[in-house]
Chains A and B, each alone.
Chain A
């Protein structure tokens, strides 16, 4: 085997635990990045296929930018464009099916969770697409309650030609007779149920509306087709776009946000891994000064030495990355398994197994291996400066990392100032950069601060221990070697910074969210559609349902939500129509800006909207701004009056307007979510059974006890946060062990010196105390800096969430700091126990001969 590899493997193998722990950091970083990026796009893709209507084989598909329905008069404008041969309008709507709707068996999840109801004009549609009927007939003009479905859908439902297909619709459960069967659906995406346009308009409660225009063109030539497309768009105006309907694009923003948070986390983990490796290599080189000197004496060139060190890094990088990739995949699959039930419940989608993209594998490998090798570079370079003489002359253990404390200290101060300045930018990117600068600043400043701080702590320890000079000795040892002290202390710092940061961010996030949740879902009962937050893909109910609910004895308030999709400043936005009166009564929104009373009042009669933080951040709008909103009837101007959010929509770009205007501007009267309060003395059982009876015709809705729902969600939150803490431990433990390691090495390196101390009369207890004091001083320094860094990074994390628009209250992580102090002292003492015993037991004669 190659000399580099032989040596690298032998050295790594000689320190198995240390190797494993340093590699762990890389494993972890790669795991998060690879796992998340493998599984997130899969999720997004599934989501998109689900949301996108199956695009037909037509030349041109035109929809409203908002995704809303519009008036068929547009058709004439399109037909009039030169080059358009035929154009037909249809109305398409995704119908989410309740759980176990198809097979009625709770044991197995349904293969089909949603269908697309498509209303067409039969004659025109057949001109555009050659529908291949395998059984029965196609739809005909004047058909009522007739449907054409695929063979695969028929099989799923266990029905055939002439049988009845029952679907949950806006007007309750509706029966359709199957008159024709199409071939099996092969392409991915939802199954389509074809009905006549009039039928679709009736079932979706959208009389006289269409939402898609399909057209064929007279040319196959690319340039000509583009020209025709441009002319079509010109003719119908910029409220329309070429392309199929996309429901739920507002939630995609949220998923992408999550993805960048995870990427940031993974990257931070990798940077930390790099830092741990950097520290380990510095110790490795201090340890092996003699070996390296010997190699140099025997004729190894500087380049050879550099490669020897880098090869070790490379091996750790490669192994760590490989493990990270495998674990990342498993982790992704595991998470997927964990969230699948949640996805099915809240979003009504099933995510397929993740697909691995070669580009992602490559990126992960480059990041994992790259960062490891990069971290090894500086230590490797300093190793090349070791002279052959170091092997030959018994020297007194000077660590060769000389630092110009002056320059690096002031550079650190500058970085620190910049980092703190970034806190005020409120921008995600700057905050992230600030965190890196902050850590860098502390590392730069640490060596200069080691002296004063160790003197301070030494005097504290003197008070603690009797005045036998051991604390001073320890302090002296540290300030003589600020380089080594910094290495050890900064490892502790990183570990504890993570603990404090996580505590800060997590407690802030969880408390804020639970607060918002209790507020916005705190009604007695909730009636929920199959998918929450992706409102556009739900089949709601005509106002009749709400009226029926209000008539149930004991009910005091029924507040409903109506939904319409739109665009503001080219950003997909979900518009929620609320009843200002009942929203005020139930106090469902958490306001961050604006006066609730005034806003709710203004909404009743004016085009006034409340936006949530995510939208405010994404579109850069503020209370007081006037915004243009795309509606099926053209553009409308709304005044933004407040920023507020509720729990379900906190993560998606959302605006709230009154139901009066969602009807006027968007033509929506369909209720998709109900929040109900009952009188305190109401007979709950009677109320619940009355609700159930009413909802029988609307199987798409689920009746939920509000209090229970909040509790359930809070529990879910707790589980997620527990997971986060485990992740934090994952990050912290390797660096804590690295600290124990560096400390132990410090003692071993000074075996001879300790032997001398014993020879000149230090008793065992004094030696033990000296080592213990040293460890405690080091961990105290590390803990102090770690807490500082953690507080900054935690605050930054909260600011980052705020910058993305989530409502956040910063909560000072008091318990996190206590935990950090406890961990710091515990590990500091732990790190000292073994070396201190060893040092105390040292045979004086042996120690003096040691070299």
Chain B
């Protein structure tokens, strides 16, 4: 078995102090292999986003470690973590994904330009990916001129274009109607199967989670269950929804 891309050990995050302290994550051990598509599910406030932020180096844990591609993120300073985000990670969020003053092409090229790639080269790669996600005809549109689904596709193209080791997505379909949601989920599936990228996705929508290889269930900051899916094309959504109900109770 190859080295895991992500591996956390007793990852813990506590917000606030004293009586007001909230244990958002409590000793989470999670390992993700290269090429895996993992979904994290759980009731609201269980710590899903917190987990994603810690793995993405956007926040620091209270205790425990995060290994990413062989490096311990908790040992690095801000500039070093930032460089890793730039080179090894792609982010897709629910809101505010794009910089409003840049057009689709420029937004998709942004991480590569930040990393010092020649703008022409960055644009070429961004354009290829925008075409792959079906936005070849919207290259020069600004975010305000795109629909919610289209905006998410730009974010996906951006997350992929820099060829990152890990793609992190927090509720990527949370803002979309069910049809657009399924389209985005299908696209993520394609990214995993066809383009063999590693994906960690947070969602509370069983229909979307059912596109993943494996689902991790989180409750009160702890991993309480795990399911490996056979079909991975959304067909097992009902089974996933049942599991969620179980945990919620």
What residues of chain A have their CB less than 8 Å away from a CB belonging to chain B?
A: 1, 3, 6-7, 10-11, 14, 290-291, 294-302, 304, 387-389, 391-394, 851
The reply to whether the CB of B82 lies closer than 8 angstroms to some CB of chain A is yes
User: In the complex, what residue of chain A is closest to B94 when comparing beta carbons?
Assistant: A392
User: In the complex, what residue of chain A is closest to B53 when comparing beta carbons?
Assistant: A389
Residues of A within 8 A of B95 (CB): 392, 394, 851
Residues of A within 8 A of B96 (CB): 290-291, 294, 391-392
Query: Are A291 and B99 CB-contacts (below 8 A) given A6-B106, A298-B91, A299-B87?
Result: yes
Q: In the complex, what's the smallest C-beta–C-beta distance from A8 to chain B, in angstroms? A: 10
What are the interface flags for B47-60 relative to A under an 8 Å C-beta threshold, 1 for contact and 0 otherwise? 00100010010110
Q: Which of A7, A389, A391, A394 contacts B101 (CB 8 A)?
A: A7
Q: Which of B82, B100, B170 contacts A291 (CB 8 A)?
A: B100
Per the bound structure, the CA–CA distance linking A333 and B99 in Å amounts to: 46
Residues of B within 8 A of A300 (CB): 82, 86, 114
User: In the complex, what residue of chain A is closest to B57 when comparing beta carbons?
Assistant: A388
Asked if B58 and A297 make an inter-chain contact with CB atoms under 8 angstroms apart, the answer reads yes
Residues of B within 8 A of A393 (CB): 49
Residues of A within 8 A of B53 (CB): 389, 392
A-B contact pairs, 6 of them (CB 8 A): A295-B110, A297-B56, A299-B111, A301-B79, A389-B58, A392-B95
4 extra A-B contacts, CB within 8 A, seeds A299-B114, A392-B95, A392-B96: A3-B113, A290-B96, A299-B111, A388-B58
Q: Count residues of chain B with CB under 8 A from any CB of chain A.
A: 32
Query: Are A299 and B102 CB-contacts (below 8 A) given A294-B96, A388-B58, A389-B59?
Result: no
Asked if A302 and B83 make an inter-chain contact with CB atoms under 8 angstroms apart, the answer reads no
- Which positions 95-147 of chain B face chain A at CB distance < 8 Å? 95-102, 106, 110-111, 113-115, 119
The reply to whether the CB of B85 lies closer than 8 angstroms to some CB of chain A is yes
What are the interface flags for B155-175 relative to A under an 8 Å C-beta threshold, 1 for contact and 0 otherwise? 000100000000000100000
The reply to whether the CB of B93 lies closer than 8 angstroms to some CB of chain A is yes
Q: In the complex, what's the smallest C-beta–C-beta distance from A846 to chain B, in angstroms? A: 15
Per the bound structure, the CA–CA distance linking A297 and B82 in Å amounts to: 8
Asked if B91 and A6 make an inter-chain contact with CB atoms under 8 angstroms apart, the answer reads no
The reply to whether the CB of B238 lies closer than 8 angstroms to some CB of chain A is no
Query: Are A299 and B85 CB-contacts (below 8 A) given A388-B58, A389-B53, A392-B49?
Result: yes
Per the bound structure, the CA–CA distance linking A291 and B110 in Å amounts to: 12
The reply to whether the CB of B78 lies closer than 8 angstroms to some CB of chain A is yes
Residues of B within 8 A of A291 (CB): 96, 99-100
Q: In the complex, what's the smallest C-beta–C-beta distance from A597 to chain B, in angstroms? A: 77
User: In the complex, what residue of chain B is closest to A10 when comparing beta carbons?
Assistant: B101
Classify the secondary structure of A's interface with B: helix
Residues of B within 8 A of A7 (CB): 99, 101-102
Asked if A298 and B106 make an inter-chain contact with CB atoms under 8 angstroms apart, the answer reads no
**Most chain-B CB neighbours within 10 Å: which of A300, A392, A394?**
A392
Q: In the complex, what's the smallest C-beta–C-beta distance from B157 to chain A, in angstroms? A: 13
Per the bound structure, the CA–CA distance linking A388 and B86 in Å amounts to: 13
Q: In the complex, what's the smallest C-beta–C-beta distance from B112 to chain A, in angstroms? A: 10
User: In the complex, what residue of chain B is closest to A292 when comparing beta carbons?
Assistant: B99
User: In the complex, what residue of chain A is closest to B82 when comparing beta carbons?
Assistant: A301
User: In the complex, what residue of chain B is closest to A298 when comparing beta carbons?
Assistant: B111
Residues of B within 8 A of A388 (CB): 58, 85
Asked if A299 and B82 make an inter-chain contact with CB atoms under 8 angstroms apart, the answer reads yes
Per the bound structure, the CA–CA distance linking A301 and B115 in Å amounts to: 10
Asked if A294 and B82 make an inter-chain contact with CB atoms under 8 angstroms apart, the answer reads no
Asked if A302 and B99 make an inter-chain contact with CB atoms under 8 angstroms apart, the answer reads no
Per the bound structure, the CA–CA distance linking A59 and B164 in Å amounts to: 82
Which 7 A/B pairs are nearest by Cβ-Cβ distance?
A: A299-B86, A10-B101, A299-B85, A388-B58, A290-B96, A301-B82, A298-B111
Q: In the complex, what's the smallest C-beta–C-beta distance from A592 to chain B, in angstroms? A: 61
Residues of A within 8 A of B93 (CB): 297, 391-392
Q: In the complex, what's the smallest C-beta–C-beta distance from A573 to chain B, in angstroms? A: 64
Q: In the complex, what's the smallest C-beta–C-beta distance from B128 to chain A, in angstroms? A: 19
Per the bound structure, the CA–CA distance linking A11 and B142 in Å amounts to: 13
What are the interface flags for B198-230 relative to A under an 8 Å C-beta threshold, 1 for contact and 0 otherwise? 000000000000000000000000000000000
**Most chain-A CB neighbours within 10 Å: which of B49, B53, B79?**
B53
Q: In the complex, what's the smallest C-beta–C-beta distance from B13 to chain A, in angstroms? A: 12
Per the bound structure, the CA–CA distance linking A387 and B81 in Å amounts to: 13
**Most chain-A CB neighbours within 10 Å: which of B53, B95, B101?**
B101
Q: In the complex, what's the smallest C-beta–C-beta distance from B154 to chain A, in angstroms? A: 13
Per the bound structure, the CA–CA distance linking A378 and B197 in Å amounts to: 41
Residues of A within 8 A of B115 (CB): 299
User: In the complex, what residue of chain A is closest to B110 when comparing beta carbons?
Assistant: A298
Per the bound structure, the CA–CA distance linking A6 and B103 in Å amounts to: 11
Asked if B99 and A14 make an inter-chain contact with CB atoms under 8 angstroms apart, the answer reads no
Q: In the complex, what's the smallest C-beta–C-beta distance from B82 to chain A, in angstroms? A: 5
Query: Are A387 and B58 CB-contacts (below 8 A) given A294-B99, A295-B99?
Result: yes
Q: In the complex, what's the smallest C-beta–C-beta distance from B54 to chain A, in angstroms? A: 11
Q: In the complex, what's the smallest C-beta–C-beta distance from B145 to chain A, in angstroms? A: 14
Asked if A298 and B86 make an inter-chain contact with CB atoms under 8 angstroms apart, the answer reads yes
Asked if B101 and A297 make an inter-chain contact with CB atoms under 8 angstroms apart, the answer reads no
Residues of B within 8 A of A295 (CB): 99, 110, 114
Asked if B101 and A11 make an inter-chain contact with CB atoms under 8 angstroms apart, the answer reads yes
Query: Are A296 and B101 CB-contacts (below 8 A) given A388-B58, A391-B93, A394-B95?
Result: no
Residues of B within 8 A of A389 (CB): 53, 58-59
Q: Which of B82, B113, B119 contacts A296 (CB 8 A)?
A: B82
Per the bound structure, the CA–CA distance linking A509 and B78 in Å amounts to: 58
Per the bound structure, the CA–CA distance linking A7 and B98 in Å amounts to: 13
User: In the complex, what residue of chain B is closest to A304 when comparing beta carbons?
Assistant: B114
Q: In the complex, what's the smallest C-beta–C-beta distance from B161 to chain A, in angstroms? A: 11
Query: Are A392 and B111 CB-contacts (below 8 A) given A299-B82, A300-B82?
Result: no
Asked if A297 and B79 make an inter-chain contact with CB atoms under 8 angstroms apart, the answer reads no
Asked if B97 and A294 make an inter-chain contact with CB atoms under 8 angstroms apart, the answer reads yes
Per the bound structure, the CA–CA distance linking A391 and B97 in Å amounts to: 8
Residues of A within 8 A of B98 (CB): 294
User: In the complex, what residue of chain B is closest to A303 when comparing beta carbons?
Assistant: B79
Residues of B within 8 A of A14 (CB): 101
Per the bound structure, the CA–CA distance linking A301 and B77 in Å amounts to: 11
Per the bound structure, the CA–CA distance linking A295 and B95 in Å amounts to: 14
User: In the complex, what residue of chain B is closest to A393 when comparing beta carbons?
Assistant: B49
Residues of B within 8 A of A3 (CB): 110, 113-114, 119
**Most chain-B CB neighbours within 10 Å: which of A296, A298, A300, A389?**
A298
Asked if A298 and B114 make an inter-chain contact with CB atoms under 8 angstroms apart, the answer reads yes
Per the bound structure, the CA–CA distance linking A316 and B114 in Å amounts to: 23
Per the bound structure, the CA–CA distance linking A65 and B170 in Å amounts to: 86
User: In the complex, what residue of chain A is closest to B158 when comparing beta carbons?
Assistant: A298
Residues of B within 8 A of A6 (CB): 102, 106
Per the bound structure, the CA–CA distance linking A392 and B158 in Å amounts to: 17
Per the bound structure, the CA–CA distance linking A763 and B40 in Å amounts to: 43
Residues of A within 8 A of B49 (CB): 392-393
Q: In the complex, what's the smallest C-beta–C-beta distance from B90 to chain A, in angstroms? A: 9
Per the bound structure, the CA–CA distance linking A296 and B56 in Å amounts to: 12
Q: In the complex, what's the smallest C-beta–C-beta distance from B27 to chain A, in angstroms? A: 22
Per the bound structure, the CA–CA distance linking A309 and B176 in Å amounts to: 33
Q: In the complex, what's the smallest C-beta–C-beta distance from B108 to chain A, in angstroms? A: 11
Residues of A within 8 A of B102 (CB): 6-7, 10
Per the bound structure, the CA–CA distance linking A7 and B100 in Å amounts to: 10
Q: In the complex, what's the smallest C-beta–C-beta distance from B44 to chain A, in angstroms? A: 14
Asked if B85 and A297 make an inter-chain contact with CB atoms under 8 angstroms apart, the answer reads yes
Asked if B58 and A301 make an inter-chain contact with CB atoms under 8 angstroms apart, the answer reads no
Residues of B within 8 A of A11 (CB): 101
Residues of A within 8 A of B91 (CB): 297-298
Q: In the complex, what's the smallest C-beta–C-beta distance from B93 to chain A, in angstroms? A: 6
Residues of A within 8 A of B56 (CB): 297
User: In the complex, what residue of chain B is closest to A300 when comparing beta carbons?
Assistant: B114
Per the bound structure, the CA–CA distance linking A851 and B95 in Å amounts to: 8
Q: In the complex, what's the smallest C-beta–C-beta distance from B94 to chain A, in angstroms? A: 8
Q: In the complex, what's the smallest C-beta–C-beta distance from B159 to chain A, in angstroms? A: 9
Residues of B within 8 A of A851 (CB): 95
User: In the complex, what residue of chain A is closest to B170 when comparing beta carbons?
Assistant: A392
Per the bound structure, the CA–CA distance linking A14 and B86 in Å amounts to: 27
Per the bound structure, the CA–CA distance linking A402 and B156 in Å amounts to: 36
Q: In the complex, what's the smallest C-beta–C-beta distance from A745 to chain B, in angstroms? A: 15
Q: In the complex, what's the smallest C-beta–C-beta distance from B137 to chain A, in angstroms? A: 22
